[in-house]
């Protein structure tokens, strides 16, 4: 059976998307030190949410106004699929570019030691890498060499409606991260 050029292109793009971001980075030359031309990278992942919850994904408007504004001037992945029905292996697959059975992170287990991730590749290239929340789900530590981390825990259902303390703590952690970035302007960042 002969494939058309556009079918080959579609298949290649699908394989790249399924292979993940780190697979695309393999074999690439990374500069010894970051330059001013590098842009910062902000990855936002969320548990237990689907497209209908977000205004910018044709969901109900007004629920996520800040994310909607950010998305209006950002790149959005519109055709993403999850590699696992649970959060930890799905997040690990996204960060490593490897499906859970290949990175060792089946279920709520750490990936295989030495598994490269977006965070480890960018850190090796001189980027400042930071994360908030779910730090304990990003294992092994060698694959996630955070320069800054602020752990969050669970969903805090008892704080719904009265979650101001949690929001203030997380906002302070983000302010600290922003301050650190301002002092390290020569290094691009992944957050």
pLDDT tens for each residue of the chain, 191 residues long: 444 545 544 444 444 344 444 444 444 444 444 455 567 787 877 776 776 778 887 777 887 888 888 888 887 777 777 788 888 898 899 899 999 999 998 888 999 999 999 999 999 988 878 887 777 888 999 999 988 777 666 555 454 444 445 555 666 777 777 777 776 666 676 66
Q: Which secondary-structure segment (H or E) carries 11?
A: helix 5-19
The first and second tokens of residue 15, run together, are: 């394989």
Compute the distance between CA of residue 21 and CA of residue 40 in angstroms, rounded to an integer.
Answer: 16
- The domain ranges of the chain are 82-190
Question: What pTM was estimated for this model as a whole?
Answer: 0.60
Q: In the chain, which ranges are E strands?
A: 128-132, 148-150, 189-190
Q: Which are the contacts of 4, defined by CB distance < 8 A and separation ≥ 6?
A: none
């Amino acid at each position: 059976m002969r494939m058309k050029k556009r079918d080959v292109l579609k298949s290649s793009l699908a394989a790249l998307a399924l292979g993940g971001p780190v697979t695309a980075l393999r074999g690439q030359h990374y500069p010894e030190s970051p330059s001013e031309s590098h842009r910062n990278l902000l990855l936002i992942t969320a548990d237990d949410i689907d497209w209908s919850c977000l205004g910018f994904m044709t969901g109900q408007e007004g629920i996520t106004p800040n994310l909607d504004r950010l998305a209006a001037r950002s790149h959005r992945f519109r055709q993403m699929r999850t590699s696992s029905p649970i959060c930890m292996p799905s997040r690990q697959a996204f960060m490593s570019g490897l499906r859970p059975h290949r990175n060792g992170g089946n279920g709520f287990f750490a990936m295989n030691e030495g598994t490269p991730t977006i965070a480890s590749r960018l850190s090796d290239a001189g980027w400042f890498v930071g994360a908030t929340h779910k730090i304990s789900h990003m294992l092994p530590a060698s694959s996630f060499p955070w320069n800054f981390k602020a752990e969050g825990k669970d969903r805090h259902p008892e704080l719904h409606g009265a979650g101001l303390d949690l929001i203030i703590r997380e906002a302070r952690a983000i302010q600290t991260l922003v301050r650190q970035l301002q002092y390290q302007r020569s290094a691009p960042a992944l957050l």
